Structure 1
Amino acid sequence: MGSRLSTRLMNICISCLCKVQKLEKAEAIIVDGIRLGVIPDVVTYNTLIAACGRLVCMDAAYAVLHRMKEAGISPNVFTYNSLLAGATRHCQISLSLDLFEEMLQMGISPNVWSYNMLMHCFFRLGKPDEAYRVFRDIILNNISPCPTTFNIMMNGLCKNGYADNALMLFRTLERHGCKPELVTYNILINGLCKAGRLKAARRILRQLGESGCVPNAITYTTVMKCCFRSGNFEEGINIFTEMKRKGFAFDAFSYCTVTGALVKTGRLEKANECMEQMVENGIVLDIVSYNNLINLYFREGKLEAAYKLLDEIEGEGLECDKYTHTILIDGLCKAGNIEGALQHLQYMNSMGFDSNLVAYNSLIDRMCKSGLIDQALRIFDLMDLKDSFTYSSLVHNLCKAGRFRCASKLLLSCIRNGMKILKSSQRAVIQGLRNSGFRRDAGKLLTKIRVAKI
């Protein structure tokens, strides 16, 4: 009895050390325990294998398995599940299959968690057909699937572009009397939102309310983000109001998401109230929150307040990211300070930020609107990376300035590079050429556009 209690105490100590990532000390406890006559058991080695697979690598986990066998301790299904978890974490599907084969050869029957991890690994690698075969094997082997099994299936189907199949599986479970958990609803709502199925997501949200399960902040935030992403700002703000009414706690991300949507719709006063409420609720501002505030102040024309926030960011020990600098450049452009925006862009480049496409796009658009089209074209030529917005903005502004031939060359270059450009911009160029008396050039451009698209 004393030995069993000692082994149990040793296992508790090892588990605690593994949780705080002190694997060397955990190994030392095993050595000291053996020297004192406390014999490790299968739980001891399973704990260490799981920690090595999670924190170090699979080779280290296998080394522990080898030592376990040398000590005369037979591995069990939990041993191999720990190894499978490590292989899944590193997306090593061939190793996972080898582990399955090894289990069967040793006479160890895989349980539902063994299959769950293998299925999850296939989904992570983008192989939904193989994952479904694993799910089918669970049923054929008379193993009862657990709620996690269905959650893995639905999550994997959604992430691999099969949201409709996930919804069908959800309905099948309902017909068979399985009561979905809240996490299941959240997975499905998130998958439908990302697939652009906002109406279906809202139906599942209503059904969740009727089922007796109480939606949590994650549920509402998921639908709210989808509304904002798809341009349904009013609906997203209504969900935010509903969350407040029901007393849900918000994190900084939720507040920033709503503030950004309010700023985009021009409701600056409401956006201010939202940020003030965030501070009143004791949420510590991170760099995303500061970026939202800076953008808000620039929209309101409070340039001094925006620059004071930069000192505050530094005082809090935070570092400005590329979005901070992009917001500053955009704000300077909108304030008409093109020279200041150019200087800040140069400073941003000197800081080594990998991408400042949005900053360049904002600068080009504002320069064109200020009549500095030639300077905008020179900056355009210097850009390494361009997107469809860059071309569309420049083509549109060239048309407004009556420079249709230059716009037609730029338009054709964009289409040949495989980018999409707004049809309104294409029509503006062709119509502009015709109205300016260049009907033949307009016809040639139309032909070249068709050929480029083919």
Structure 2
Amino acid sequence: MLLRLSNKLLNISIASLCRSKQLEKAEAAIIDGIRLGVLPDVVTYNTLIIGYCRLVNFDAGYSVIHRMKEAGIAPDVVTYNSLMAGATRQRSLPGCFDMLEEMLEMGIFPDIWSYNTLMNCLFKYGKPGEAYRVFHDIILTDMSPSQATISIMINGLCRNGYIRRALSLFRNLQQHGYVPELVTYNILINGLCKSKKWEDTMNLFEELKESGQAPNAITYTTVMKCCFRCKHLEEGLEIFKEMKSKGYAHDLFSYCTVVAALLKSGCIRDANNCIAHMVKIGYDLDIVSYNTLINLYCKLGDLENAYNLFNVAEGKGLECDTYTHTILIDGLCKSGNIDAAQRHLNYMKEMGFNCLVAYNCFIDGLCKVGRFNYALRVFHSMDVRDSFTYSSLIHNLCKERRYRLAAELLLSCIKSGMKILKSDRRAVVKGLLVTCSKTDVNNFKLQMRTAKILYY
């Protein structure tokens, strides 16, 4: 009895250490246990396999099997299920099949979780047809599919774009006595929402409520987002009211979703009232929330309200980050207010922020208003550039039909060891074909290939 209790304590310790990402300490605990006469069992090694698969990789998890066999402990179905899950996490379909085959060779019969994991891997690998066949094989055997099996199947079909097939499977299973759980409804509602099938989403939402199951915060938020995405503002606001009446609208995300929908619909006053209400009821907006709202106002060209929110955030003592300032600079550039964008960029530099993305926005803004020479001066003054810096300038130069200069920048980008976008390369080559001789174009292509060999 003492030994059994000690094994249990050892396994609990190993599981805790693996969850806290302390694999070295987990290994040390096993060694200490052996010294004290507490030998690890199959549960110990299975726990260690799960830890290595999650924190290192599948190969590290698989190496534990050899240690199990050396210790005289035979792997079981949980061992191979854990390894299949590890292979799935790495999107290694061959690894998943290898584990299934090895399991069968050892005389270990797969259980429902073995097939669940295989189906999940097939879906992640983009093979919904094969996953469907595995599901069909489960139905034909004495092995009954679990709720998890059905959820994996429906979720996989939705993620692979087979939303109608997922809905058809759902209905077919219901006809055969399947009573879906809330999680399955949520998966299907989310899939319908992403496919912008608003009527089907609302019908399923009503069906869920009539089934006696209570929708949760995830359900309401998904349905509300679907309404807004499909431009059914009034219905979305009604869902939001229902959320509040049920006690679910207590997070910033739901309120920010409503504000975003109101702003996109041009209901600026209502959006401002919603923000004021958030503040009034005691929501302490963090900088991420402010950034989201500032970005929405900038996209609508409402820089006055964007700066009002910026000032409110600073007034509350929040530290506006690089993202905040970059949003405002981008908004100023898109509104054509280049001088104000320049001043804000200078302020950003003085405050010691990383200005790379802001510079990229500024250069793009300069090009959009036709100030290419100034954009080039800013570009050459930058100490640090990335592929987007080059891409923005190259793209705008091609629009201006300045293909030779764009070609020089493209080569410079390659020689800096940065990846170039295929669209930029195509635009430059296409432009050179129109303005230059075929020999010049071929020389340019040769220079590109040589630069890639030398600098990549």
Q: 1:353 aligned to 341, 357, 362, which one? A: 357
Deviation by residue 1:208-264 (Cα, 9 ceiling, x = unmatched): 010001111111111222222233333322221221222213322222111111122
Deviations 1:140-183 (A, max 9, x none): 33211001111111111011110000000110111011110101
For residue 190 of structure 2, what is the aligned residue in structure 1? 190
Give the structure 2 partner of residue 325 of structure 1.
Answer: 326
Relative to structure 1, is the Cα distance of residues 30 and 131 closer, same or farther in structure 2, using a 3 angstrom cutoff? same
**1:207: which partner in 2?**
207
Unaligned ranges ≥5, structure 1: 368-373, 392-415, 418-454
State how far apart, in whole Å, the 1-side matches of 2:328 and 2:285 are: 17
Residue 308 of structure 1 aligns with an amino acid whose one-letter code is N
- In structure 1, give the amino acid aligned to 2:164: D
Q: What corresponds to 1:305 in structure 2?
A: 308
Aligned 1:2-401 pairs, distance under 5 A: 2-279=2-279, 283-294=283-294, 295-296=296-297, 299=302, 301-302=304-305, 305-309=308-312, 311=314, 315-317=317-319, 319-321=321-323, 325-330=326-331, 334=335, 337-341=337-341, 344=344, 351-353=355-357, 360=364, 364=368, 375=371, 383-385=393-395
Q: 2:366–2:375: 8 Å Cα contact kept in structure 1?
A: no
Determine if contact 2:329/2:345 at 8 Å carries over to the other structure: no
With over 3 angstroms needed to count, the CA separation of the structure-2 counterparts of 1:312 and 1:57, relative to structure 1, is: farther
Q: Is the 8 A contact 2:88 2:121 kept in 1?
A: yes
Q: What is the aligned length?
A: 381
Shift of 1:302: 4.8
* Coordinate RMSD, CA, aligned: 3.4
Cα separation, partners in 2 of 1:260 and 1:106, compared to 1, 3 Å = same
Aligned to 2:451: none
Q: Distance in 2 between matches of 1:207 and 1:20?
A: 41
Moved more, 288-297 or 74-83: 288-297
- Partner of 2:357, secondary structure, is coil
What per-residue deviation string (whole Å, max 9, x for no partner) do you get for residues 348-381 of structure 1? 99722299679957994xx6xxxxxx55999799
Tell me how far apart the structure 2 counterparts of residues 15 and 241 of structure 1 sit (CA, whole Å).
43
Q: CA deviation at 1:64?
A: 1.5
| Contact 1:46/1:79 (8 A) holds in 2 | yes
Question: Separation in 2 of the partners of 1:138 and 1:287?
Answer: 49
Query: Aligned partners of 1:134 and 1:237: how far apart in 2?
Result: 42
Contact 1:91 1:125 in 2 (8 A): yes
Contact 2:313 2:320 in 1 (8 A): no
CA distance in 1, matches of 2:363, 2:195: 29
Letter in 2 for 1:198: W
The answer for the alignment partner of 1:434 in structure 2 is none
Q: Assess if the C-alpha contact under 8 Å between 1:299 and 1:331 holds in 2.
A: no
Separation (CA, whole Å) in 2 of partners of 1:174 and 1:304: 53
Letter matched to residue 188 of structure 1: L
Measured after TM superposition, the shift of residue 15 of structure 1 is 1.3
**What is the TM-score of this pair, normalised by structure 1?**
0.74
3-state DSSP of counterpart to 2:356: coil
Indicate the percent of aligned positions where both proteins have the same amino acid: 50
**Pair 1:53–1:184, CA change in 2 (3 A):** same
Residues 119 and 134 of structure 1 are in contact (CA less than 8 Å); yes or no, is this contact kept in structure 2?
Answer: yes
Letter of the 1:169 counterpart: L
Q: CA deviation at 1:55?
A: 1.1
Larger displacement relative to structure 2 (280-289 or 353-362): 353-362
Partners in 2 of 1:35 and 1:111 — Cα distance? 35
More deviation in 12-21 or 142-151? Answer: 12-21
Question: Whole-Å Cα distance in 2 between the matches of residues 157 and 202 of structure 1?
Answer: 20
What TM-score do the two structures reach when normalised by structure 2? 0.74
Amino acid corresponding to residue 170 of structure 2 in structure 1 = F
Matched AA of 2:331: D
Structure 2 unaligned runs (5+)? Answer: 377-390, 401-425, 428-456
Question: d(CA) in 1 for partners of 2:315 and 2:59?
Answer: 47
Out of 185-194 and 278-287, give the one that drifted further: 278-287
What is the distance in 2 between the residues matched to 1:244 and 1:101? Answer: 52
Change (3 A) 1:272 1:91: same
The amino acid that maps onto 1:32 is: D
Whole-angstrom CA distance in 2 between matches of 1:358 and 1:256: 28
Deviation for aligned residue 1:382: 6.4
Contact kept? 1:138, 1:144, Cα under 8 Å: yes
Separation in 1, partners of 2:176, 2:222 = 27
Say whether the 8 Å CA contact 2:329–2:361 is kept in structure 1.
no
1:77 and 1:111 in contact (8 A); partners too: yes
Distance apart, 1:138 and its partner CA: 1.6
Distance 1:80 1:281 in 2: 52
Counterpart CA distance in 2 for 1:355 and 1:155 is 41
